[in-house]
């Protein structure tokens, strides 16, 4: 038995990287998982690997009705919703502000910021009615430091960090635990996209410089426990050696 046994978690961006690793680990720890992503084939395969404790739902987090449908699926399938991991995010197209495409720039805001809002908007009433829940937003160092070529990503992540603080301020009295996780650079497809551009210091990193997606997944498991309550309303950095020691990664 673990603190996740019998809990139901909705994980956005679950088709790969941190989202996939989190879905698999949460299921191993006894949770029911709803995998939400645009890549329906990928999440259906992952859900099939996990078994009866998993559901897959095609979801574009920039569309409110898609997010609502994912929340409804969790409630209809498993009787409630205890955890939301707002992981879906994009960084392409990377470009300088002066050369940026306004429409494409706005799409990143729609996914990275409005997608977080939609997740909170749909989940909070369900959690409030049930007496509480946990909402965790995947943040980034880019939320706090501007990086060349990443104006859309930095702005969206900064906004999402503020949304998480707002969720804590409004949700805590209803039993909602809201936090952010800044994982550092993770060995995912996004880092391959960043590398190709050659823009800013992050693109200069080598593959072995990035942590595996299983590390953030382990941190998210811990963040869903009462042991992490000292960080409610705040952002946890996986660059912090004390946090790494706490969750048991090198």
pLDDT value, residue 225 = 97
* In contact, 86 and 124? CB cutoff 8 Å: no
2 in a structural domain: no
176 in a structural domain: yes
Domain count, the chain: 1
101 in a structural domain: yes
192 in a structural domain: no
236 in a structural domain: yes
Q: Is 118 a catalytic residue?
A: no
Q: How far apart are CA 224 and CA 197, in angstroms?
A: 35
Residue ranges in the chain modelled with pLDDT below 70: none
206 in a structural domain: no
CA distances from 196 to 13, 70, 142, 187 (A): 22, 33, 18, 14
Q: Which pTM was predicted?
A: 0.95
Q: Spot the catalytic one: 82, 153, 178, 247.
A: 153
Instruction: Write the CATH number for 114.
Output: 3.40.50.720
Domain extent, residue 101, equals 8-185+213-247
Task: Read off the tokens for 40.
Answer: 């329906």
Measured at the CA of 249, the angle between CA 244 and CA 250, to 5 degrees, comes to 90
67 in a structural domain: yes
191 in a structural domain: no
């Amino acid at each position: 038995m673990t603190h996740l046994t019998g809990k139901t978690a909705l994980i956005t961006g679950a088709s790969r990287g941190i989202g996939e690793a989190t879905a698999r680990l949460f299921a191993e720890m006894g949770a029911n998982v709803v995998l939400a992503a645009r890549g329906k084939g990928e999440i259906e395969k992952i859900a099939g690997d996990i078994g009866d404790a998993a559901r897959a739902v095609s979801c574009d987090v920039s569309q409110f009705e898609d997010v609502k449908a994912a929340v409804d699926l969790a409630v209809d399938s498993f009787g409630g919703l205890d955890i939301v991991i707002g992981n879906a995010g994009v960084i392409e197209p990377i470009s300088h502000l002066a050369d940026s495409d306004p429409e494409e720039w706005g799409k990143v805001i729609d996914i990275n910021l409005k997608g977080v809002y939609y997740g909170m908007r749909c989940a909070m009433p369900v959690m409030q009615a049930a007496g509480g829940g946990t909402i965790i937003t995947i943040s980034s160092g880019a939320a706090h430091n501007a990086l060349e070529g990443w104006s859309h990503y930095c702005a969206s992540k900064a906004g999402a960090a503020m949304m998480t603080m707002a969720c804590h301020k409004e949700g805590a009295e209803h039993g909602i635990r809201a936090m952010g996780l800044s994982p550092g650079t993770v060995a995912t497809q996004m880092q391959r996209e960043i590398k190709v551009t050659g823009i800013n210091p992050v693109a200069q990193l080598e593959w072995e410089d990035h942590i595996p997606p299983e590390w953030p997944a382990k941190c998210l498991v811990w963040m869903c426990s009462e042991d992490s309550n000292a960080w409610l309303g705040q952002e946890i950095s996986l660059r912090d050696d004390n946090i790494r020691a706490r969750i048991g990664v090198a």
